[in-house]
Amino acid sequence: DGTDHCYSHGGPKGHHSEWDSTIFDYLKWEVLRFLLSNVKWWIEEYGFDGFRFDGITSMLYHSHGIGKGYTGGYHEYFGPDADIDSHIYLMLANDLIHGLCPSAITVGEDVSGMPTLCRPVDEGGFGFDYRLAMAIPDMFIKLLKEGSDDAWDMGHITHTLTNRRWMEKVVAYAESHDQAIV
C-alpha cells in the first residue's frame, strides 16, 4: 500500500525500541488472517502439536513491559497499559490451535505474571496450557555467574522454583537461549 506500516502500526506505536522491529496491528483483518493462517498451516501441513509463543510480555502491554516491575496487582495487568488487541489475537490463536488439534500444547513466555494466561478461552483466559517460567533460568545464570556454590540460598531457590499462580502449569528449564547472550 506504499506505507511502512501495512501490517504494523504507523509511527512510534509501530516500532519496538528494544528489538528494533515493527509491531503488528492486531486490529487489521489482514494481520489476523496472516497470523492465524500461519498457525493453521503449521498444524495441517507439518502436523505441529505444540507452539511456544516467545516474548509475549512485549505484546501484552503498550509499554512492552519495558522498565516495569510487576508485583501482582491486577491494576498492573488490566489497566490502560494493557494491549487488548494483542490479548484478543492470543485468545484467537490458542482457540484455533486447540480447535484444530485438541491435544496440542501451547506455551506462553510471559515474565509479567499476567493472570489468566493459562486459563481456557471460554473462561476469559488466554488459553495457554503452560507458562514458560523465565525466572528459573534467570536465577540459575545469576547463581553461576555471581556466587560460589556454598553461598546459594536454598530458600530463594525453592521460592523461585515454586513461585507461580495457584494451579498454573509451567514449563521450566535451567538454561535458556536468553542467557546465551548475557
* Catalytic site positions: 54, 109
Question: Residue type for 173, please?
Answer: Y
26-35: Cβ within 8 A, 24+ apart = 26/83, 26/85, 26/86, 26/88, 26/89, 27/85, 30/6, 31/7, 32/89, 32/92, 34/7, 35/89, 35/93
Q: How far apart are CA 173 and CA 140, in angstroms?
A: 10
Considering only CA atoms, which of 169, 46, 44 is closest in space to residue 101?
A: 44
- Report the phi/psi class of residue 59: left, alpha or beta, with left for phi > 0 and alpha for psi in -120 to 50: alpha
Cβ-contact 171, 161 below 8 angstroms: no
